[in-house]
Structure 1
Amino acid sequence: MPSSKTNRIALIASAFVIIALILFAMLRDNADAITLNQANSLLQSKSVKKVIVTKEYVYLKTDNGYYKIASSQVTPRMFVDYKVEVGSESNIIAIILFLVLFLGLGSLLVKFLQNRGVFGDIRFKRSDETNNASSSLLELNSPIEAMKSDVSFSDIGGISDVKIELEEIIDFMKNPKRYKNFGARMPRGVLLVGPPGVGKTMIAKAVASAADVPFFYQSGASFVQIYVGMGAKRVHELFAAAKKNAPAIIFIDEIDAVGKKRDGQRNDEREATLNQLLTEMDGFEGSSGVIVIAATNKIDILDSALLRAGRFDRRIFVELPTKREREAILMKYLQKVPHELDVKVIANMTVGFNGAALAALVNEAALLALRQNDFHVTLEHFYQVKDKVMFGKKKLQMLNEKQKAYRITYQAGKVVVATYFDLPFEKLMLSNEKLTPSTDEPFIKEELEARVKMLIAGTVACDMRFNEHASSAKADLDEAKEITLKMCQEYGMGTAIIPESNEEELMLKRLYEETTLLLESLGEVIQNVESVLQERESISKEEVKKYINAIF
């Protein structure tokens, strides 16, 4: 028996050696390196059977051998007559072989531990009474565990102002005695306020990573349960776990789900949960080292008791990134993407984008480049996917010749006025539903009027050319009316601070007449833009500028 066991072990060891040798043979790059001239010769002689592109090399497979050349030495035009495959076949084989090796070693380890009696006391129980309610209760009763954050501030671009605000928190978590000896205490709670997608969760994780403390993450919605008392119990367990692991950070995402204003309407479970949260935040004297960070995009609906001093003492507003911040964010996401781009141009064309939208934009551009078998992401890829990220993919209706003529004139009027007033955009396509994104920045009167003129310019151009316009103008006209209404009723930008009757109608009529005079003076520019749109269905801001500068 001992000899048979020895033979079995030797057989298994031999099998793993063979697998390792096969793995080495399959992963070894056996392609011969060639020069650019040799590659051109192979391609021109039509002897290449397959072209495979990877990040570092382009592989040429022929009947006589397998050759490689650095990707930086070739251009896509060299492979116009060939179907190009992206990736490497060896990766799949390597994964399979690694998986086989891992499972084999894992099986041996489990068998060894079983023989040693490690699993002797473990028994598995089955229950025939399992249903959705019981599984939910099990989940609620499961212990709350801390996680280690793997996000650092270096992974987040464009938050220098926010980082300065949080450096005190990080220092306090590392050196609490310094603050205690000075008689100072740090805020018990920090509230991150900002629109969705600006990176509030990532910022909280970066704080935990920089302070090197346990990170307890909970969503506000997870406290709102159908079981009476379970939400309050969950809050208590969360704070108890954090106190045991102090110093620690509790992060409550979307706190407005549990912290809404109490308006007198009966909701015992929600109120009990909120009361428990308030009580826990009041009981921090004996548990220094625990800081609560919460995130919301609806601070106006939070209960006043939650916002008072002693609970969330510090509020940090995380706004949409500025141009410089967008550049920093884009640089982070483009680090691993092969590109030939001026990041400043991309930052200019993404006014109103948040961090999540910028990440999606870079990813969509990279996917488009892969679909088109391009070796680098270019500015044209970003132009093609920008509207998809901003407004979603929208299937456009098929236009007949007459409808297309109206569309061309409509878009020409908009793009000429937008360029004349230097509104933020980089390129217009015939299929664009919106030219520039609306923002909530504080505008002065002439900037708002310029935007209204851009929104009605398409309608004005069609009325001038065809004496009528299409129903597709509705969205632009609605926005123009909304801006005009706010200017008169809310911003005091009409003829008087207190608006008179029909104030919006008079303002919109005046702006329509001024836009008509402007387009009449730019008639030659509109004709040139229409010709370009008719030919290629797109035009850049720089091209329109050249046409305008030519007549002034």
Structure 2
Amino acid sequence: MAKNSKNNTPNKKPKFSMYWIYILIILLLLGTQFFTGGSMWYQQKKISDTELKEFLTNGDVERIEVVNNSHTAKIYIKKEALQKDVHKDVKGEDSLIPQTANEEVPQYKVNFGDQQNFENQVRKIIKETNQNTELDFEPDTNNWIVSALFNFLPIILFIGLWIFLMRRMSGGSGGGAGGQIFNIGKSKAKLFDEKKDIRATFKDVAGLEGAKEEIQEIVEFLKNPERYTSLGGKIPKGALLVGPPGTGKTLLAKAVAGEAKVPFFSLSGSDFVEMFVGVGASRVRDLFKQAKEKSPAIIFIDEIDAIGRARGKNNFTGSNDERENTLNQLLTEMDGFGTNTNVIVLAATNRADILDKALMRAGRFDRQIYVDLPDLNERREIFEVHLRPIKTKEALDLDFLAKQTPGFSGADIANVCNEAALIAARKGKKAVDKQDFLDAVDRIIGGLEKKNKIITLEEKKTIAYHEAGHATVSWLLEHAAPLVKVTIVPRGQSLGAAWYLPEERQIVRPEQMLDEMCATMGGRAAEKVIFDKISTGALSDLEKVTKQAKAMVTIYGLNDKIGNITYYDSSGQSDYNFSKPYSEETAQIIDKEISEIIEGQYKRAIQLLQENQHKLTLLANQLLEKEVIFKDDLEAIFGKRPFEKEIFGKEKNLEA
């Protein structure tokens, strides 16, 4: 018990700081000035031999102090003589001159040649004038102290500055690996203690069932390796977590650390990068050395693309790259230790396409675990996790919330829950309700409402018809996303917005893409039909349909003239090419086909709105009156949508 209590006692020993050196130097300088008579604070007035003889003759001098071997004498003036005009330029004992206790301050000093001749002349004048002036002698002890101090002070300051800079560049002023200049090559990996540091487990990771299954198997490898090796299997050396940002890759790694009950080394890919040559490779070696010593163990490298980027790219100078040296060392270490060391490397990235092929091969990262965006059921489970600390007013319909947020990552859903709590607190509520969550989704997708933004009546009318055009066309087309809400209240950078719930599709057909493009062009088409003019408000619409049409022609092979050809390169190699993968003649055909697709859907939207112009006007007038309309308002004008079906999808914001 005593041993445990001793180990649990926090270390209260003060840490060394460079500021103590600075304080010591300042105190040393101040002390030198005090104990050497304050020569830097006050310089005595220099006089000539003639002036000294005059002062002696007048009886103004109280004492003359000759400094041996310095050819200098200090002159002390009597207190009553200091009142004379001739001594008004010198300080008396009431001045702020630094001095030691019981020590008077000389007012003058005089330089002389031969010390013996000077003493004889002074004694002669004192005797002739019958003065009581004292003649003393002082050994020259100050000069060598001051001289030595100022000789060594620059060296001391330079050494202190050098140590300070080295400690800062090596990653901190504290102790431990990487904290000192001599430990700069040590690994910066944090070793997690399952009893203190780890809080997440697989219960905290909602959804991601496929990824969790593979990760759990890796944990079982470390807990019970004989179960697999007895059949001749080998423990995998590494697993790479790949997926969009915010899907829970790092959270999965934290859950592994909480479940495995083995040493878990966690660090980022950027922790290997340093300004010194060879430091990254040295840290890689030290990291794997520590892991082998604590085997079985897990190494987790977050954002491995910081050092794992494919070699040879963007190296136009031809110079040696420190990042490549670090990657080479990592490749060697991963392929170097045997399968019986029970060390597994986990890594996470959302840029797997730019990683080096040598890093991705079997034998290094044997498994690639894709962590995709959550589906409907997984989103509901994620809401359950993030709603635990939220104080809700009622039992929320999690299925409804999941349908309102498709395409959202786990991080997005966490942000929705937090934003809903903030909105409820801002409104002074005691608990969070359903409307707060809807407002949070609107806030995240569309931005903050700007009801005080100055908009003219003509602009407001244009925005209303623009958004009504989107709503009308999408309502009349089978494959377009059904409407949820339309508003002309400025939100974020948009002047108006329409929210839809598009169907979550695994594959998309040409007619579905064309209907979506037609609905997107409905805003500009409404402006053309009603005002016979167009505006710049359709910028985001044009950007969206141009990308869709280009994808149909150049990526998905959905164009008859171009044929079953794609110019998409999943490896990312085309990003570094300066030439297009097709000829100029093909480029002209591509441009023409893209334009024909967009213009065809624009004319189609105009025709639909002309056929339903009366209903379009009714909808726009309701928008001008209410500023926000919902699905029920459209059903009252257009009737129930004939091809309604069970759908859900991500809300989209269309700028006006």
TM-score, length basis structure 1:
0.73
Higher share of residues assigned helix:
1
CA distances 1:54-84 after superposition (whole Å, capped 9, x unpaired): xxxxxxxxxxxxxxxxxxxxxxxxxxxxxxx
Q: How does 1:49-88 map to 2 (within 5 A)?
A: none
TM-superposed CA distance for 1:545, in Å, is: 4.0
Select the residue among 592, 597, 604 that pairs with 1:507: 597
CA–CA separation in structure 2 for the residues paired with 1:551 and 1:251: 52
TM-superposed CA distance for 1:202, in Å, is: 0.2
Alpha carbons of structure 1 residues 416 and 366: separation in structure 2 relative to 1, 3 Å = farther
Select the residue among 426, 437, 458 that pairs with 2:523: 458
Q: Does 1:157 find its partner at 2:206?
A: yes
What residue number does 2:461 align with?
Answer: 405
Q: Confirm or deny: 8 A CA contact 1:192 1:295 kept in the other structure.
A: yes
Q: Confirm or deny: 8 A CA contact 1:197 1:354 kept in the other structure.
A: yes
CA–CA separation in structure 2 for the residues paired with 1:306 and 1:345: 43
Letter in 2 for 1:258: I
What residue number does 1:134 align with?
Answer: 167
What residue number does 1:426 align with?
Answer: 484
Question: Which is worse superposed, 417-426 or 357-366?
Answer: 417-426
TM-superposed CA distance for 1:469, in Å, is: 2.5
Alpha carbons of structure 1 residues 273 and 166: separation in structure 2 relative to 1, 3 Å = same
TM-superposed CA distance for 1:411, in Å, is: 0.9
TM-superposed CA distance for 1:133, in Å, is: 4.2
Select the residue among 356, 370, 386 that pairs with 2:425: 370
TM-superposed CA distance for 1:489, in Å, is: 2.7
Q: How does 1:159-238 map to 2 (within 5 A)?
A: 159-238=208-287
What residue number does 2:471 align with?
Answer: 415
- CA radius of gyration, larger in: 2
How many residue pairs align between the two structures?
438
Alpha carbons of structure 1 residues 241 and 145: separation in structure 2 relative to 1, 3 Å = farther
Q: Does 1:243 find its partner at 2:288?
A: no
TM-superposed CA distance for 1:180, in Å, is: 2.0
What residue number does 1:342 align with?
Answer: 397
Select the residue among 308, 311, 330 that pairs with 1:262: 311
Alpha carbons of structure 1 residues 547 and 322: separation in structure 2 relative to 1, 3 Å = farther
Question: Which is worse superposed, 467-476 or 313-322?
Answer: 467-476
Q: Confirm or deny: 8 A CA contact 1:205 1:215 kept in the other structure.
A: no
Q: Confirm or deny: 8 A CA contact 1:246 1:287 kept in the other structure.
A: no
TM-score, length basis structure 2:
0.62
SS at match of 1:165: helix
SS at match of 1:150: coil
SS at match of 1:226: coil
Letter in 2 for 1:366: A
CA distances 1:165-197 after superposition (whole Å, capped 9, x unpaired): 222112111101222222211211100101111
List alignment gaps of at least 5 residues for structure 2. Answer: 22-159, 173-177, 564-585, 643-656
TM-superposed CA distance for 1:542, in Å, is: 4.5
Q: Confirm or deny: 8 A CA contact 1:231 1:273 kept in the other structure.
A: yes
What residue number does 1:9 align with?
Answer: none
What residue number does 2:332 align with?
Answer: 279
List alignment gaps of at least 5 residues for structure 1. Answer: 1-108
SS at match of 1:426: strand
TM-superposed CA distance for 1:223, in Å, is: 0.9
What residue number does 1:322 align with?
Answer: 375
CA–CA separation in structure 2 for the residues paired with 1:400 and 1:122: 66
TM-superposed CA distance for 1:138, in Å, is: 5.0
CA–CA separation in structure 1 for the residues paired with 2:207 and 2:633: 31
Alpha carbons of structure 1 residues 314 and 507: separation in structure 2 relative to 1, 3 Å = same
Percent of aligned positions that are identical: 36
Letter in 2 for 1:423: A
Select the residue among 594, 609, 629 that pairs with 1:539: 629
CA–CA separation in structure 2 for the residues paired with 1:182 and 1:505: 61
Q: How does 1:25-44 map to 2 (within 5 A)?
A: none
What residue number does 1:86 align with?
Answer: none
Letter in 1 for 2:456: N
TM-superposed CA distance for 1:357, in Å, is: 1.0
CA–CA separation in structure 2 for the residues paired with 1:545 and 1:229: 69
Q: Confirm or deny: 8 A CA contact 1:242 1:248 kept in the other structure.
A: yes
SS at match of 1:258: helix
Question: Which is worse superposed, 121-130 or 155-164?
Answer: 121-130
CA–CA separation in structure 2 for the residues paired with 1:440 and 1:269: 44
Q: Aligned-residue CA RMSD in angstroms?
A: 3.0
What residue number does 1:476 align with?
Answer: 541
